[in-house]
Amino acid sequence: MLATMRYSKFFIPTLRDDPADAEVISHKLLLRAGYIRRVTSGVYDYLPLAVRVLRKIEAVVRDEMNRAGAQELQMPMVQPGELWEKSERMEKYGPELLRFKDRHGHESCLGPTHEEVICDLVSRELRSYKQLPMNLYQIQNKFRDEIRPRFGLMRGREFIMKDAYSFHADEDCLAAEYKNMFDAYCRIFTRFGLKFRPVEADTGSIGGSDSHEFHVLADSGEDLIAHCGACEYAANVEKAVSNRQTVAVEQAELKMVDTPVVTSAEDVAGFLSVDIALLVKTMVYRIIGGEHDGVIVAACVRGDDQVQEIKLAHAVGADSVELATDAEITEIGGVTGFVGPQNLLSRVLLDHSLQGATGLVAGANRKDAHITGLDTARDITSGEFFDLRQTRAGDTCAKCGGNIELSRGIEVGQVFALGTRYTEPMEVLFQNQQGQRSVATMGCYGIGVSRLMAAIVEQCNDAAGISWPLTLAPFSVGLISMGKSGAVLEASEAIYHQLKGAGIDVLWDDRKERPGVKFKDFELIGLPLQVVVGDRGLNDGQVEMGWRKNERRSVPVADIVSVVLSELQSSELQSVETGN
């Protein structure tokens, strides 16, 4: 009996109502439809339905990775601390790296990523350029002690990742493999029928030179993506560059004006009746990490712009930046709410859009006061100019002058050209064609497999539940027995075995529930095709068949297998043709 996938025996703990603590649709639906359960913050059980979907996602990922010439291996989740010391990431990676000591007192950690372990392996086995290039990958659980795990599988602490690492004799070979992986990722996300976009990306804590992220477009996405309406340019706002319209004004004298209690750029602009773009927004930050750890700096953008903190961190050589406290603002001669770039004791970084600007309004570094007529070239002699602002919708594209649009995305993958960031400290060396010892170059390529499952649900759902693409559904067909007559159950079981015999994934609903309950459950869990067996139809030798939420039609019992097969095949063909 175990071989039969009967709903009555299958572990699908559905919930009647939306779980209260779930904010995004995928989290709600995966909980409600019995795919996942929370164990502790950011850690989930994947129940049998989820495992079936994950295996199908993984199968496509494996297929394309193997096709691209990568080889699968499996590395451990527990990693020795020494390797992280050697790569100089023990400190740098920060508290997301879960560290512990084993019983012998050895520093260890749970792998959030595997550059260290793979470099260690390859450094011990690599001798000659003849062994290169190579690309090794695994699909495995990662652990990152995220500060704010949320949205269910989207940002977990323990999650499933496909991670690949390639090694090369030179930069050109790395560039070719980067392109090869980029193309493989495009094929993978196309096969899932997703609306996605590859974008230029910041390299973050991983390091390296070139990087792209792959985003599934969804309003619930945590990332903002800037893309040009006219050309191919697309980038994460952490990295995006664009031009903005500037406001031309006459040069004027510096004047101090009273601005009692108004502090925000909007309020000051309103109070003084000036264009908000003429305001200088001055934000004070503390540098985290790097040579200047703990140093306070000021960053200025126009009043209607935001400081992009990742750009600022790069500008000052920091790992990250954090807003300064009131006391720290006082330390550099500022007054909270009235900070301006003039006469500060700290470094002052200004966005390019303020270069050569005149007639600006800025905080006076005095309580309840601002200055007007500010000219950055004339009045802020120690100012340094960088790209610090976050790209906005309506900016002009730096490449072609087209209109920049913003959309939200879920990062489901990222590729990095790392160069020698890891291979040098980890001593991944080989003998080159000229017989000299040389450092290998490296790339790494990740896909968030469990996040991808959530991202697919974000794009494939409706009011009734999940509508899985056929290629990823836990079962292609839901076989529903209506009523409890022996004839219905007997006919259903026979059809079940015939469908299985034809290689079709079927879940048979043999429960003694009302038809309405069964249809609701099937719509919720999201199986694409339904076959319904009832007394009335059987009397005429017929069963019904239809796609989820579509009209059903009668099919003779004798033909059901061939009709289901041809429906599934034509749907698969269609999805290949349309990419949906």
**Which one among 6, 28, 52, 451 touches ligand ATP, defined by CB under 6 A?**
451
Site for ligand ATP in 197-256 (CB under 6 A): 204
Q: How far apart are CA 383 and CA 376, in angstroms?
A: 8
Considering beta carbons, is residue 451 or 548 the nearer one to Mg ion? 451
* Cα distance from N-terminal residue to C-terminal residue, the chain: 36
Q: Give the nearer residue to ligand ATP in terms of CB position, either 129 or 416.
A: 416
411 binds ligand ATP (CB under 6 A): yes
Nearest to 112 by CA among 142, 141, 133: 142
Cα three-residue angle 577-550-189, rounded to 5 degrees: 35
In sequence order, the β-bridge partners of residue 242 are 397
**Nearer residue to ligand ATP within complex by CB, 138 or 282:** 138
Provide the minimum distance between the beta carbon of 100 and ligand ATP in the complex, in angstroms, as a whole number: 19
Q: Is 52 a residue that touches ligand ATP (CB under 6 A)?
A: no
Among 81, 133, 156, 340, binds ligand ATP (CB under 6 A): 156
- Reduced to 3 states (helix: H, G, I; strand: E, B; else coil), residue 364 is coil
Amino acid symbol at 188: I
Which SS3 state, helix, strand or coil, does residue 130 take?
A: helix
For position 236 contacting Mg ion by CB under 5 A, the verdict is no
Count helices and strands in the chain by DSSP H and E runs: 14, 33
Answer whether 212's CB lies under 8 Å from 206's CB: no
Contact flag: residue 146 with ligand ATP (CB under 6 A): yes
Site track for ligand ATP across 98-117, x = CB under 6 A: ---------------x----
* Binding to Mg ion in span 359-418, by CB under 5 A: 414
Rounded Cα distance between 448 and 410, Å, is: 10
Q: Amino acid identity, residue 409? A: G
Query: Where are the extended beta strands (E) located within 127-209?
Result: 134-143, 158-168, 196-200
Rule CB under 6 A: say whether 421 interacts with ligand ATP. no
Decide if residue 165 touches ligand ATP (CB under 6 A): no
476 near Mg ion, rule: CB under 5 A:
no
Tell me if 414 contacts ligand ATP by CB under 6 A.
Answer: yes
Amino acid at 493: E
Residue 518: which of ligand ATP, Mg ion, none does it interact with, CB under 5 to 8 A by kind? none
- Tell the smallest beta-carbon distance from residue 238 to Mg ion (Å): 10
Does the footprint of Mg ion cover residue 211 (CB under 5 A)? no
Q: Site size for Mg ion, by CB under 5 A?
A: 1
Beta strand 255-258 pairing with 369-374: antiparallel
Nearest-approach distance from CB 413 to ligand ATP, in angstroms: 5
All residues at 6 or more sequence positions from 485 whose CB lies less than 8 Å from its CB, including other chains:
535
Nearer to Mg ion, 341 or 446 (CB): 446
CA-CA distance, 128 to 126, in Å (whole number)? 6
Q: Which residues sit at the interface with ligand ATP, rule CB under 6 A?
A: 113, 144, 146, 155-156, 159, 161, 204, 411-414, 446, 448, 450-451
Q: Which residues sit at the interface with Mg ion, rule CB under 5 A?
A: 414
